[in-house]
Structure 1
């Protein structure tokens, strides 16, 4: 991905971050989620099945037929969570609509797997990419868990079925981690990665919350320890992305492709902070002594190495020598980091984490949030200019930004104790 920012598509002039905004306010967070949902509401739903996946800044759909498994699952999450928080029956209907498409359109009955990318035209599916990704299955599990928690009964058996598929096809018992990728007929590649395991942990925690089955919590704990402790000891104490088949570190995988959307080279500050968030969610259910301290270590490591003192925001990646290898700013990195900061602030009582939270929000409010049309821009240059007017391509859906707001609401606790 060789992108060059153009002055013609520089970020629209945004209001400076208003010092009067209380970014820790429940009302602010709920309002922001509503505003983000409103960006998608008028145009996203496809009556013939599922939702469109590609949106310009103003909401114009610029690809009406391509459907990606990651977006299809994240739309289920978005609307299931919206229904749980706001109680609007339209959100529940959208969640059912999204789940139905995920189950019926992406599922390959012949090979018993979910297709990574399909063409959807006139109510008919054509597989574009049938590669099996554990990352994709993790999001299927997450979608089913949140749909079940929203009261969609048909999602409940899908939780167990999806977990069983992950276990049968991807679980590496000797490593205590999931493999990453397979051909459509389930021949595993040699590549191993942490990203699929991180999102599997997220999904397993949600599956436990949806079902109460301790099996899911046990598996989440095992993966979390193996990635953030054992594997991290092989890579300077931080979470590296890429590994060989034997789970030794692959320092060179995608070395020339640091902006890769799913497998970027370098340490990802956003994944250090996202793991910090997940460790604290795990701690809610299982108070292991190492979780809190490790969450602090990972958050501090990512934030201190990647914060841009000149232009604000967190860079996308840094190398093993701590030098920045990708100077761009990505929406999800800021969002996952403010969620982690809030959880750490609530967990420790330390104002320094809330200061990080406020700073991330001030930066994001000034540069990433589209105050005209709603939702967040996806990627900016280091000096906060847009690369294009493609706000929400496949995979985005603002799942990260809305999910982060929901996690902050959890951290703030009962509405009766809200600011």
Structure 2
């Protein structure tokens, strides 16, 4: 266990950590028959070579696109194209326009496991196309427009100014469940689409989503963001109560989503001159969400941010998840730069030191996925479905952006 730390406010620390993390995945994640392998043990061994999940397929495109922009390795750009091709030719439903949530891919043949359409999945499809464009893959620009139009037609609920969550493969059935998580990542994706295209309509959609969740919906829970709602966008306090560790829809308040929203709100606040509505609420809300998350979920005894807390503010899931720490690092850096407040740099250092000690695999690379409340690993599965360390490397890229802004302000 490490007791010495690098300078977490140095750009070289961030770039070296990104490179170290990429070495865990690249090139072992590449399936030359199409797409990427998604399931890795701690030492990098592939333990499931056939199952493909839409979330991992899209996040690997983000990983390679960002790595290409940072390190200029042409093989990374080749892998962006490789990933986009798999999305278009394997995940995408050419008849109905959606994307298979989960499938099996073996010897160049696919078998659909779950053909439902998820707004959460489409958000990452949009994110991946946007980052592909920013990496130089011009043909993905048309895919941005196509995906936004699909989300608009099939999931957008104009009366609530939010997206629905899940539909059947042929779009004939829209599930009654409504969730904030798909909308949060749709906000993230719209910000990326705006960065990729410069089109203000994407920024304005991100703004509308953010206000709907962080203001209107949060008002139902005392200013905090609950995860689950019915089809009238009223809180469903009991949804998944018996499934607190559900991969995409866990019960309880999610402090990691509070800090993730905090990060997105700071990024939105930086665009105030291009926003449509009053923006005075954005930065105070970002601060408040971050402060609540760390106040209620930081483990004072063992360190780290716990996964979930109940409506009575007691911890309901004391496990520590990698993405919660990573998103909180990014949020702390963004808030520190935007507000100039020392307390956010203090949190930044504190969360990094905890993560460097307990989550970062200094031997093999990448971060462990889940630790128990005593900071012990719960399994040797480093990367099951959905985990490509998009959160951890993404946090480092956000920090690099913050360090650039600090240099400009100096």
Question: TM-score range with shorter-chain normalisation?
Answer: over 0.9
> Which of residues 199, 204, 215 in structure 1 aligns to 2:190?
204
Distance 2:112 2:406 in 1: 46
1:297 is the counterpart of 2:288: yes
Q: Is the 8 A contact 1:25 1:418 kept in 2?
A: no
Distance 2:389 2:175 in 1: 30
Is 405-414 or 295-304 further displaced after alignment? 405-414
1:366 is the counterpart of 2:357: yes
The equivalent of 1:391 in structure 2 is 382
1:376 is the counterpart of 2:363: no
Q: Is the 8 A contact 2:68 2:77 kept in 1?
A: yes
Task: State the aligned residue count.
Answer: 404
Q: Is the 8 A contact 1:243 1:250 kept in 2?
A: yes
The equivalent of 1:326 in structure 2 is 317
Q: Is the 8 A contact 1:138 1:203 kept in 2?
A: yes
The equivalent of 2:240 in structure 1 is 254
The equivalent of 1:4 in structure 2 is none
CA offset at residue 220 of structure 1? 0.5
Equivalent residues in 2 for 1:345-360, closer than 5 Å? 345-360=336-351
The equivalent of 1:174 in structure 2 is 159
Q: Render the CA deviation track for 1:349-405: whole Å, top value 9, x for unaligned.
A: 111100000000000000000011000000000001111110011100000000011
The equivalent of 2:231 in structure 1 is 245
CA offset at residue 41 of structure 1? 1.1
> Which of residues 392, 401, 406 in structure 2 aligns to 1:410?
401
Is 218-227 or 109-118 further displaced after alignment? 109-118
Q: Render the CA deviation track for 1:77-119: whole Å, top value 9, x for unaligned.
A: 0000111111111111111111111111101112221000011
Q: Is the 8 A contact 1:412 1:418 kept in 2?
A: no
TM-score relative to the length of structure 1: 0.95
Q: Is the 8 A contact 2:30 2:36 kept in 1?
A: yes
CA offset at residue 42 of structure 1? 3.4
Equivalent residues in 2 for 1:114-263, closer than 5 Å? 114-186=99-171, 187-263=173-249
CA offset at residue 418 of structure 1? 11
The equivalent of 1:275 in structure 2 is 261
Distance 2:74 2:316 in 1: 45
CA RMSD between the two structures = 1.3
Distance 2:407 2:154 in 1: 46
1:337 is the counterpart of 2:313: no
> Which of residues 46, 52, 55 in structure 2 aligns to 1:67?
52
The equivalent of 2:308 in structure 1 is 317
Q: Is the 8 A contact 2:337 2:406 kept in 1?
A: no
Distance 1:371 1:138 in 2: 32
2:105 match: secondary structure: strand
Q: Is the 8 A contact 1:180 1:192 kept in 2?
A: yes
Q: Is the 8 A contact 2:118 2:165 kept in 1?
A: yes
TM-score relative to the length of structure 2: 0.97
CA offset at residue 416 of structure 1? 5.8
Distance 2:138 2:205 in 1: 24
1:164 match: secondary structure: helix
The equivalent of 1:49 in structure 2 is 34
1:78 match: secondary structure: helix
CA offset at residue 137 of structure 1? 0.1
> Which of residues 281, 297, 300 in structure 2 aligns to 1:306?
297
Q: Render the CA deviation track for 1:231-263: whole Å, top value 9, x for unaligned.
A: 000012101000000000100000111111100
Q: Is the 8 A contact 1:345 1:352 kept in 2?
A: yes
Q: Render the CA deviation track for 1:154-187: whole Å, top value 9, x for unaligned.
A: 1110000000000000000100000000111211
5+ residue gaps, structure 2, are 274-278
Distance 1:53 1:129 in 2: 16
> Which of residues 397, 400, 403 in structure 1 aligns to 2:391?
400
Distance 1:270 1:315 in 2: 9
2:270 match: secondary structure: helix
* Shift in alpha-carbon separation, 1:226–1:417, aligned structure 2, 3 A: closer
5+ residue gaps, structure 1, are 1-13
Structure 1 segments (4+ residues) deviating >2 Å: 414-419
CA offset at residue 290 of structure 1? 1.4
Distance 2:408 2:184 in 1: 31
Q: Is the 8 A contact 2:326 2:395 kept in 1?
A: yes
